[in-house]
Structure 1
Amino acid sequence: MSGGWQGSDRKARLPSGWAKIRARILERDPVCMICHVRPSTHCDHIAAKTDDHSDAGLQGVCGPCHDQKSAREGAAAAKAKGRPTRTKPPEQHPGLKG
């Protein structure tokens, strides 16, 4: 597992038979279900932030599509939590401070 799991409890929430489930999904979906071009290398939960480990809740996806989907889901979750952004508010010009 890559650094993407850092700070996540997702791995701990996977069922004990995850390796078999993952293998079954990748066999069922040999080509990425998002781009339909590259081979599937990741077993992805279709709905974000769910623990639906049923075959209907999982899909095989390629690494680039998985990374993009995870980034979008993470950004949406951060926005929903109202986390501060990295940009600073504009500062008033020093000559206008009074």
Structure 2
Amino acid sequence: MSGRWKDSNRARRLPPNWRRIRAQILARDPVCKICGVRPSAFCDHIVAKADDHSETGLQGVCGPCHDQKSSREGNAAQKANPRPGRARPPEPHPGMK
């Protein structure tokens, strides 16, 4: 498993025939569906975390567009569910009770 998938469970959620599906999508979309310029290299889920492996739920995209889209989706997910901060809430001064 490559470094990009290290902390992901995405590979386990793919159907057993994923390689065939991926090949079909890249054959259908030889040019990136996002920029329309570069050749498609990735089979992208149009809706993040939807696990829609149908032809209408997937698109062929180039590497730079895939990276940008994934980054936007990851940033949005972090904003929607932020990690708790390390800062402790302020405590009243002991002499002020």
Q: For the residues of structure 1 that align with 2:58 and 2:84, how far apart are their CA atoms? A: 32
TM-score (norm 1): 0.82
- The share of aligned pairs that are identical, in percent, is 69
Who wins on radius of gyration, i.e. which is larger?
2
Q: For the residues of structure 2 that align with 1:84 and 1:72, how far apart are their CA atoms? A: 21
Deviation, structure 1 residue 3: 2.1
TM-score (norm 2): 0.83
How many positions carry a matched residue from both structures? 86
Deviation, structure 1 residue 39: 0.1
Q: For the residues of structure 1 that align with 2:84 and 2:71, how far apart are their CA atoms? A: 17
Q: Secondary structure at the match of 2:8?
A: coil
For structure 2, the 5+ residue unaligned runs are 88-97
- Give 4+ residue runs of structure 1 displaced > 3 Å after superposition: none
For structure 1, the 5+ residue unaligned runs are 89-98
Deviation digits for residues 43-67 of structure 1 (CA, Å, limit 9, x no counterpart): 0000011110000000000000000
Q: Secondary structure at the match of 1:32?
A: coil
Residue aligning to 1:33: 33
